[in-house]
Structure 1
Amino acid sequence: MKAILDGSTIRIGPEGLSLYEQGGYGRPGERGLNLSCEEALYLIQRGKLEVEGFDFESLLMHSVNQPENGGTFLRSYIVYRDIRERGYAVQRGPHDFRVFRRGQKPGKGTTQYLIRVLSERDPVAFPILIREVATAEHMRKNFVYAVVDDEEELTYYDIRFHRPKARESISLETGISAVPMGFSAMVAGEGAILLESLWFGTRLDQNRLILSPPEVLYLLDQGLLSFSGSLIDRNGYYASALSADNELNEKLSVYSALRRLGFTPRTGYKFGHHFRVYTESNSHSAMLVHAITEGAEIPISTISRSVRMAHSVKKKMLFACVQNEEIVYIEFARIKL
């Protein structure tokens, strides 16, 4: 089948409509079928198309060098080809690609995935990501990152909002006295026993419990803890703890929100994250949660390591974005299309 290059579009006459009807390629126009360069290259590789004045290599080079592609065309083509070879119809869409349900095609089918293409060195700007996930959710589609590494291999990540369901929480009826100990605080006696039963703190010995800064501040803010035998108050303790941990604000916001849901957040340091979170029971943590600021940017390579770690220990990987008084939980999961 013969085609010509017209700007950034490959045009075929009316005979090209069979490609659309049978395989979901291109978009019908007034004079035939309009193909994207990704579609044309794929069809050339499969021996189904000839573009006047170009072979595969020269058309690929032409597309890569177009200023509007910003040097990203090659990885876009690699993603397009991979999705096609997995048996899906795919078109340019509101993100980078829209992928139809397997066996369905444009015109009659339903879009299943909205795909954004990244390289392994790209940063993830969470304000943009949250908007894109919200758009996909509004359209009732799955939002996916297709990440192309430096060896041109692909990894797909399903990204969605996670809305935790609260479980019944146990409340304290009496205040407990604590002694500030640097950036921590110590509770002794009956108070230590009670807090430990609610999964606060770590045992120092049989009679004493050590509380972490988020635990201390949460209990102070709830009016369940007070300092005894010390001139330091909540604000003084907070200032001291903040001087040692510049992520304390975000961690405290997320810790408090998780506690209000009836969950048990504990340090996730050994997993490389802020919290491991127990949701259904306190015998196995279900999630790893990392608190981030509203405007956070994180390299996709860092997120990749996080997702792999979470998968290896059978947990969900969530980034908790602190937006004013709201916490937006974004879940990343590696998938196979």
Structure 2
Amino acid sequence: MSPLRPYYTVLPIVPAVKAIFDGTSVLTGKDGRTLYDQSGYGRPEGEGIRLAPQEALYLLHRQKLDVPGYTFDSLLAEYADQRNFLRSFLVYRDLRERGYVVQTGPHDFRVFRRGEKPGTGESLYLVRVLSERDPVRFTKLIEEVVTSRNMRKQYVLAVVDDEEELTYYEIKLQKLADASVHAPPIAKAESVLVGRSAMIRVPLQSDLERAGFGKRLDDERLMLAPVELLYLMDCGVLKAKRDGAFISTADYFAYASESDPELAAKEKVYAELRRHDFTPRTGYKFGHHFRVYCGKNVHSDLLVHAIEKEAVMPISVVSRSVRMAHSVKKKMLFGCVHTTGIQFVEFARIKL
């Protein structure tokens, strides 16, 4: 009678690949080529492969690599002096654990589609790593997103918080489409300044109200916010009087800016939204400049915050903005004022 055989197959134990640490990166012999050929680790060099620090540490931690004279802890200590290395490694490890093949560059990482690797597939994401206290420099961010788009990749921010938790944000440069509903024409009129706002006498359901301007003071009077007044003055639809005399658009802008240093950016972004027949209203209750209606929906579709071209904003502020927008089922856009126009940047939290 033959002995019982196990119903499962016992896989042979694969010995760890031997490698050396040269003070900068880790280099394997020819047996390391299987790591590249099968799983996309490293880059070929000679008969072996050269591993980036994140790759070497990950393989050492998974006991797939043997670097004589070094443990995971001691090799990590060697790299720890490199700026932002630990959070970079944490993102690399997370992406690998999610089943992606990851290589360094051209930002921090490029990430391949699941099941694909260098030589046999294309990368899907370009990833930039930040900590929760890092600033977002919008000029640089837009440049990197444009580069990613030109390479037909998705640009992703990987943010590592102080408890080593990771959050991923997809960044898109949005080109606004025109609204499905067009604003009605507005008859020319005159208004009177009341502080920085303007008051105009119009009947209920006037063309201004139907176009989404102003807030009723009573049945006879409509109040216009500074950005609304500036837009209507610039369009030549409305004139405003102060102390009995008409005030120019430039003089009114200077006057209103005294109490609102963000007015320049807000006014430009507001005008751009109006050019697409969107209806921007104050977004104060949501912590942003505008809530924006894009069509027939009774609820606003977007939250938009206006910023100058060289704006720098902590990623923690962006995180709060995205979470707020998500909680009220809206998209979060930052309207960045450029010399060539307004660039709308969308932040959206994603799960890779």
Shorter-chain TM-score above 0.5? yes
**Residue in 1 that maps onto 2:3:** none
Q: Deviations over 1:264-285 (max 9, x none)?
A: 0000011010001111225111
Q: Confirm or deny: 8 A CA contact 2:157 2:168 kept in the other structure.
A: yes
Q: Confirm or deny: 8 A CA contact 1:114 1:144 kept in the other structure.
A: yes
| Partner AA of 1:256 in structure 2 | A
The secondary structure found in structure 2 opposite 1:331 is strand
Q: Confirm or deny: 8 A CA contact 1:288 1:315 kept in the other structure.
A: yes
**Residue in 1 that maps onto 2:171:** 159
1:192 Cα deviation after fit: 7.0
- Shift >3 Å, 4+ stretches: none
Q: Confirm or deny: 8 A CA contact 2:184 2:207 kept in the other structure.
A: no
Q: Does 1:188 align with 2:201?
A: yes
For structure 1, which segment, 215-224 or 24-33, has the greater mean C-alpha deviation from structure 2 after superposition? Answer: 24-33
Residue 296 of structure 2: which of 281, 285, 291 is its match? 281
1:23 Cα deviation after fit: 1.1
Q: Confirm or deny: 8 A CA contact 1:180 1:230 kept in the other structure.
A: no
Residue 215 of structure 1: which of 228, 246, 252 is its match? 228
For the residues of structure 2 that align with 1:21 and 1:165, how far apart are their CA atoms?
A: 45
1:171 Cα deviation after fit: 4.6
| Partner AA of 1:128 in structure 2 | K
1:312 Cα deviation after fit: 0.4
1:170 Cα deviation after fit: 2.6
Residue 213 of structure 2: which of 188, 200, 211 is its match? 200
1:40 Cα deviation after fit: 1.0
**Residue in 2 that maps onto 1:44:** 60
Q: Does 1:118 align with 2:130?
A: yes
**Which consecutive residues of structure 2, in runs of 5 or more, have no partner in the other structure?**
1-16
**Alpha carbons of 1:26 and 1:98: their partners in 2 closer, same or farther (altered >3 Å)?**
same
Q: TM-score, normalised by structure 2?
A: 0.92
Q: Confirm or deny: 8 A CA contact 2:136 2:312 kept in the other structure.
A: yes
For structure 1, which segment, 121-130 or 168-177, has the greater mean C-alpha deviation from structure 2 after superposition? Answer: 168-177
For the residues of structure 1 that align with 2:240 and 2:74, how far apart are their CA atoms?
A: 74
**Residue in 1 that maps onto 2:159:** 147
Q: Does 1:12 align with 2:28?
A: yes
If each structure's helix is expressed as a fraction of its own residues, which one has the higher value? 1
**Residue in 2 that maps onto 1:57:** 73
Larger radius of gyration: 2
Q: Confirm or deny: 8 A CA contact 2:227 2:270 kept in the other structure.
A: yes
Where does 1:289-328 land on structure 2 (aligned, <5 Å)? 289-328=304-343
For the residues of structure 1 that align with 2:251 and 2:46, how far apart are their CA atoms?
A: 72
Q: Confirm or deny: 8 A CA contact 2:183 2:210 kept in the other structure.
A: no
Q: Does 1:239 align with 2:254?
A: yes
**Residue in 2 that maps onto 1:169:** 182
Q: Confirm or deny: 8 A CA contact 1:176 1:191 kept in the other structure.
A: no
| Partner AA of 1:250 in structure 2 | A
Q: Confirm or deny: 8 A CA contact 2:157 2:171 kept in the other structure.
A: yes
For the residues of structure 2 that align with 1:292 and 1:189, how far apart are their CA atoms?
A: 33
| Partner AA of 1:75 in structure 2 | R
1:319 Cα deviation after fit: 0.6
Q: TM-score, normalised by structure 1?
A: 0.96
For the residues of structure 2 that align with 1:325 and 1:169, how far apart are their CA atoms?
A: 25
For the residues of structure 2 that align with 1:276 and 1:293, how far apart are their CA atoms?
A: 19
Q: Confirm or deny: 8 A CA contact 1:264 1:282 kept in the other structure.
A: no
For the residues of structure 2 that align with 1:4 and 1:288, how far apart are their CA atoms?
A: 52
For the residues of structure 1 that align with 2:143 and 2:66, how far apart are their CA atoms?
A: 40
The count of corresponding residues between Structure 1 and Structure 2 is 333
**Residue in 2 that maps onto 1:24:** 40
**Alpha carbons of 1:181 and 1:192: their partners in 2 closer, same or farther (altered >3 Å)?**
farther
The secondary structure found in structure 1 opposite 2:245 is coil
For the residues of structure 2 that align with 1:33 and 1:202, how far apart are their CA atoms?
A: 67
Q: Confirm or deny: 8 A CA contact 1:147 1:154 kept in the other structure.
A: yes
Q: Confirm or deny: 8 A CA contact 2:186 2:207 kept in the other structure.
A: no
Q: Deviations over 1:299-324 (max 9, x none)?
A: 00000000000000001101111012
1:92 Cα deviation after fit: 0.3
For the residues of structure 1 that align with 2:211 and 2:228, how far apart are their CA atoms?
A: 12
| Partner AA of 1:178 in structure 2 | S
The secondary structure found in structure 1 opposite 2:176 is coil
Q: Confirm or deny: 8 A CA contact 1:192 1:209 kept in the other structure.
A: no
| Partner AA of 1:207 in structure 2 | E
For the residues of structure 2 that align with 1:197 and 1:127, how far apart are their CA atoms?
A: 37
Q: Confirm or deny: 8 A CA contact 1:169 1:260 kept in the other structure.
A: no
For the residues of structure 1 that align with 2:301 and 2:341, how far apart are their CA atoms?
A: 22
**Which consecutive residues of structure 1, in runs of 5 or more, have no partner in the other structure?**
none
Q: Confirm or deny: 8 A CA contact 1:162 1:330 kept in the other structure.
A: yes
1:25 Cα deviation after fit: 0.8
Q: Confirm or deny: 8 A CA contact 2:109 2:127 kept in the other structure.
A: yes
**Residue in 2 that maps onto 1:259:** 274
The secondary structure found in structure 2 opposite 1:169 is coil
Where does 1:130-141 land on structure 2 (aligned, <5 Å)? 130-141=142-153
Q: Deviations over 1:221-257 (max 9, x none)?
A: 1011112572240333222211010000100000001
For the residues of structure 2 that align with 1:237 and 1:169, how far apart are their CA atoms?
A: 28
**Residue in 2 that maps onto 1:103:** 115
For structure 1, which segment, 234-243 or 223-232, has the greater mean C-alpha deviation from structure 2 after superposition? Answer: 223-232
